[in-house]
Amino acid sequence: MGGAVTIRRAERRDAAELAILVDLSSHGLASWLWYGAVLDGTTQTALEHGRNQMRHDDERAGWKDASLAEVDSEIAGIVIGHLVDPSFADEVAPHPVFEPILALQKQVVGNWFIDSVGVYRHHRGRGIGRHLVAHELSRAAGRAVSLITESDNEVALGLYGSHGFEEIARQPSVSTDTYSKKHDWVLLTRSAT
């Protein structure tokens, strides 16, 4: 079944693995966004662009905000968290698909925000997601913690519910010709402890 789960802070050298896990946690939405860099000739693949994004020292939700779960020295999962600072009030969505997500984030300025939780499929069912969420709750240092997930992601909703998160708001997803998944984005919050 594998060894014990350990959590460590990410390093810049983990950027490629971070990009894969962020894309996994977003069910492909991240690589859909990153593909714009392929279309404009900046990179050859969407994941290359994601890796480049994750390597930036000043990138919100980049390597400095990430922690990795390892099992037997193999990276098994990721969690990314950061403070939703007042600058979010001035953020503009990079594409209409992200407008409902940003509108929900703007409701939780001042909260710690869990941006991504992802576990490779072959490592699921071992409690790694629980470890990652618990790690991020400890990083929140007593602040209220929020996150956004898809309304049809029952596994995620169960995981977050078991940690005391409750639904605060929801927004319908925005579809385009190239991204057409229909669901609601659900904002969940856990009160400050």
pLDDT tens for each residue of the chain, 193 residues long: 568 999 999 999 999 999 999 999 998 889 988 998 899 999 999 999 999 999 999 888 999 999 999 999 999 999 999 999 999 899 999 889 999 999 999 999 999 999 999 999 999 999 999 999 999 999 999 999 999 999 999 999 999 999 999 999 999 999 876 666 789 999 999 999 7
Predicted local distance difference test score (pLDDT) of residue 190: 98
Q: Is 99:174 a contact under the CB 8 Å cutoff?
A: yes
Predicted local distance difference test score (pLDDT) of residue 60: 86
Query: Would you list the DSSP string of 141-186?
Result: TTS-EEEEEETT-HHHHHHHHHTT-EEEEEEE----SS-----EEE
Q: Which residues contact 182 (CB under 8 A, 6 or more apart)?
A: 173, 175
130 CB neighbour count, 10 Å cutoff = 14
Q: Is 18:117 a contact under the CB 8 Å cutoff?
A: no
14-36 burial by CB neighbour count: b if 16+ within 10 A, else e?
bbebbbbbbbbbbeebbbbbbbe
Question: Distance (Å, rounded) from C-alpha 67 to C-alpha 38?
Answer: 28
- How much is the pTM? 0.92
3-state secondary structure (DSSP) of residue 190: strand
